[in-house]
Amino acid sequence: MQSGTFISAISTRYSGKIHKKYRNKTLEKIILPYTYAFFISGIILLMNRFIGLNRFIAILMIIVTFVCKGPYYVLIKKYLKNFTNFKKRTQISGAKIFIEDFITGLCLLYASIASKFIYEGYIVAFFGVQFLVLFIFVLRKSRIYVGKKPEEYSKKELMQD
């Protein structure tokens, strides 16, 4: 997916503008279209009509995911740098990478096994719904932290003990 990497690189260029526009809700605004893109891709795969239009929408959804990935990785790194000290940043980054890779591995394992029995459209739609539910759950749990100004966080919340 070289073209996807290129799309992510271009969108990374606008991460500063995205952050200025949404401020403390930036990650929320970036992740939401990403989860919707998965769900819509699954629905598109389930539809057998309008094949040309479906392909166009599916490609558009793939582009949306790559557009979201670019700023996400730049901004998550920026937030970790601003809101943690070096020791905590290393621990959080390591845990984040481990969890992301572990979940990706589980999703791929499930998808590869399920694809033998279930049509791929159902699998992609299933993941889209799961990501959306997970995103809403995490967002509700983190409401007390998301949207604050940096000076409103306690030292414990900033993990700078």
Contact 80, 160 (CB under 8 A): no
Residues 55-94 pLDDT 10s:
788 788 888 888 888 888 888 888 777 777 777 778 888 8
Average pLDDT across the chain, whole number? 80
∠ Cα 33 108 75 (to 5°): 40
Report the run of H or E that residue 31 belongs to, with start and end: helix 26-46
CA-to-CA dists, residue 4 to 51, 64, 90, angstroms? 22, 10, 28
Q: Percent of the chain having pLDDT more than 70? A: 85
pLDDT of residue 109: 92
Confidence band, pLDDT 50/70/90 cuts, at residue 118? confident
Q: Tell me the pLDDT band of 113, cut-offs 50, 70 and 90.
A: very high
CA-to-CA separations, 125 to 58, 62, 128, in angstroms, rounded:
12, 14, 5
140-160 pLDDT, tens digit each: 877 666 666 666 667 666 655
Of the two residues 152 and 19, the one the predictor is more confident about is 19
> So what's the pLDDT on residue 7?
84
